[in-house]
Chain A
């Protein structure tokens, strides 16, 4: 099928402001938008810049705004979008070039919630025990691939870029509810702070944007409840 891609272009070396490039490519209906972008890059305009790697929704490189919604380009199929597709970089992060945004502010928020297991007890000779139910408690948030689709779909983040954002909170959730972790207090202090969970207004854009089907808004709500529970 014939697909017309409208792509938001910007090269800081030559462009004073972003512009729209329009490209006509031939696609299989089962192709992903990433395949269509590859067609453009490989056969029409080699200068088009975007990130991609695994091409099946695991590496998280190719989150972008596709027909107005944050999606992984490799995980949304052309046939589900029709013959006119608009592609833009993620909102709320500085654009480096075309569809490539600066991930550092996003990763800085991630690092702020101490994204690692803290357990200072001497480890046993084998594994620490954890029940199936304890493991299940944080299963959903272990799926996060740090693609930034959620955070950059959040109006609260657009308004205040210092807001940690859904992805960082999802990652915090993964440790807060892990029975092996001992750093909940320190993490909750950050999450309860001025850039923390209370900036979330329950808009659900993040849940819609997540390519891993994580219940993001629910996870944020659970973190809020945990803060209140411990204060109560």
Chain B
């Protein structure tokens, strides 16, 4: 039994991008949102520190500065036309959120409060600028809640706990998706004029990650299997400050409020690596610095972590050393109460999971796999493009972390993920609705659910007990952490690729013990592991091919950025069981590549 549904636009994923797209698409089309979770569970909710927009509520700021910072942060791999749109539309997007009801923190005069964040600077002085608009340290939570609230108000149709497993095409045009309803195990075919993927990232490829269990790269894996390329997959961001061994994120806002990184000698080591921006340099720069300190034996007690220190007396000491002043010229100060008020969730996490009080003790941290710069290639309208000439695949759209526009290039700046999901969520929602108004219904292929059903039948028919998904997942995560992490080198990546190919062989032997149709999360996790393995392999192969260091991709055997040969985006295609890499140029407008110093 297969249920058939028909909508103008089917949106897959209900985080910030999917919900923003839904709100705007629903103004001109019949829309359904499919999500494997309840929308309020989406990973957008875990974003903490803020959303970047040059409102200038505290001090001079301009979208042009935001644009330059983003391009510099990207190590010049971002497409500059897209970045310009990102930073200009960031401003109206933040106001739109405020009008929807988002409870931003406020300034003394009632405007949206802003804090400094990594890589965001006053372009004249080079000093950090207050650009991150925030709601305490739960900005993402408030964005997710606010958008979902508006969707309720607009009566958007949601199909919650529906796992999309396949994308349907007919003669080169996208016409729907196949989904599994978790509650019943039933298959559903969604016939659509336009499909919009907004399923987020895939940090679960790595062992230490800030990402949710559900962040398994479902849509990019589906797209990849249907012949759509994946762009810039070698660039995956490691956030410098994950809680040691757990990977739980501690927002860059902690450093925005004055927190400092300290090594085993008690030194504020970022002064050596980034003399101007120091602890607010770009994430890739800081993650590498932490690895280098640890490698040189300067981790805490010689071990594999350093401290993030937000104790008020420490922060105030460095404010004085840096000569930080308030607007009225008085020395900048922070109190324990300020920290509790501005970083309540962080203090709570640290107390809960580490059993220490960050107001009196420094926090042990290590870099944690955090964000996919790469993904499904799109243009600035969220239309999926499939080759070097940016040829549009009719009917398919993507937005948010799953997409690669590319606004983040080789390294994303903090706060720009929230800007990206909303600016391009809106753009893609509008574009998908417009497309659906003009496009004819493309008939579904014969037996649209056949590929999914064959996979399910084959999986259920496997003999029990040969391989366990958990073992394969753990080996993949450790392998990627060791060889395709903050630092990489050719032989290590090669070893990772061999391991991954072996794991993919073993994956074919994984059996599912749960034979029931009802809420079969074992089946779901097994399918998700297949997606992760595919994306891990693409990541490793793209990383091996790129023989330079740029942004988050740091090759020890090729330590320099190489603009002559490598100022280009990679496009990875599935070719049978192999992977073919092609490349497309970067759009450079006003900012030619320069040396990147913080």
Contact = CB atoms under 8 A, between A and B. Distances in A.
Contacts of B512: 46
B110 A13 contact: no
Interface string B459-484: 00000000011100000000000000
Nearest to A58: B46
A53 B214 contact: yes
Interface stretch (A109-117, A153-161, A190-198): A109-117
Interface stretch (B124-132, B518-526, B536-544): B518-526
Which of B43, B108, B513, B522 is the most central at the interface, judged by chain A CB atoms within 10 Å of its CB? B522
A53 B212 contact: yes
A46 B141 contact: no
A134 B111 CA distance: 12
B46 A100 contact: no
Contacts of B43: 53-54, 59
A51 B161 CA distance: 10
B152 interface: yes
B52 to A, nearest CB: 16
Interface stretch (A122-130, A200-208, A220-228): A122-130
Contact of A53 (B111, B213, B348, B470): B213
Contacts of B100: 116-117
A206 B441 CA distance: 50
Nearest to A59: B41
Interface in B114-137: 135-136
Interface in B60-116: 94-95, 98-101, 103-112
Interface string A3-39: 0000000011110000000000000001010000000
B330 interface: no
Interface in A79-96: 96
A100 B353 CA distance: 25
B150 interface: yes
Interface in A114-162: 114-117, 119, 123, 125-132, 134-135, 138-139, 142-143, 145-146
B112 A127 contact: yes
Nearest to A114: B153
B40 interface: yes
A57 B40 contact: no
A75 B55 CA distance: 36
A103 B38 contact: yes
Contacts of A123: 95, 99
A55 interface: yes
B149 A115 contact: yes
Interface of chain A, helix or strand or loop or mixed?
A: loop
A61 B160 CA distance: 13
Contacts of B19: none
B150 A130 contact: no
A13 B522 contact: no
A138 B145 CA distance: 15
A185 interface: no
Contacts of B109: 129
Interface in B334-357: 345, 348-349, 352-355
A128 B99 contact: yes
B516 interface: yes
B135 A57 contact: no
Contacts of A77: 352-353
By size class, the interface of chain B is 35 or more
Nearest to B248: A56
A100 B519 contact: yes
A100 B184 CA distance: 13
A60 interface: yes
A11 B516 contact: yes
Nearest to A123: B99
B212 A59 contact: yes
Given A47-B513, A54-B46, A116-B152, A42 B95 contact: no
B149 A97 contact: no
B226 interface: no
B517 A52 contact: no
A129 B183 contact: no
B103 A12 contact: no
Contacts of B513: 45-47
Contacts of B38: 61, 103, 107, 146
B103 A56 contact: no
A230 interface: no
Nearest to B516: A13
Contacts of A49: 518-521
B138 interface: yes
Contact of B352 (A47, A75, A126, A134): A75
Contacts of B98: 127-128
B101 A178 contact: yes
Contact of B518 (A58, A96, A175, A180): A96
Contacts of A2: none
B37 interface: yes
A229 interface: no
A163 interface: no
Contacts of A52: 213
Contacts of A139: 103, 136
A54 B248 CA distance: 9
A58 B45 contact: yes
Contacts of A125: 95
B140 to A, nearest CB: 8
Contacts of A30: 353-355
A13 B152 contact: no
Given A43-B468, A50-B521, A178-B103, A56 B41 contact: no
Contacts of A129: 109-111
Given A56-B349, A115-B152, A130-B110, A42 B469 contact: yes
Nearest to A13: B516
Contacts of A127: 94-95, 98-99, 104, 111-112
A41 B354 CA distance: 25
Nearest to B38: A103
Contacts of A114: 153
Contacts of B468: 42-43
Interface string B410-422: 0000000000000
Contact of B522 (A46, A58, A146, A180): A46
A49 B43 CA distance: 21
Contacts of B353: 30, 32, 56, 77
A13 B517 contact: yes
Which of B38, B152, B513 is the most central at the interface, judged by chain A CB atoms within 10 Å of its CB? B38
A145 B516 contact: no
25 contacts: A11-B516, A47-B522, A49-B519, A54-B46, A54-B213, A57-B348, A58-B345, A59-B41, A59-B46, A97-B516, A97-B518, A107-B38, A111-B152, A114-B153, A116-B149, A126-B55, A127-B94, A130-B106, A132-B105, A132-B110, A135-B104, A135-B105, A135-B106, A142-B135, A181-B101
Given A30-B353, A135-B105, 13 more contacts: A12-B518, A46-B512, A56-B46, A58-B45, A59-B41, A97-B519, A116-B101, A126-B111, A127-B111, A139-B136, A142-B138, A143-B141, A146-B40
Interface of B: 37-38, 40-43, 45-46, 55, 94-95, 98-101, 103-112, 135-136, 138, 141-142, 145-146, 149-150, 152-153, 183, 212-214, 246, 248, 345, 348-349, 352-355, 468-470, 512-514, 516-522
Q: Which 5 A-B pairs rank lowest in CB-CB distance, beginning with the nearest?
A: A117-B101, A42-B470, A129-B110, A47-B514, A116-B149
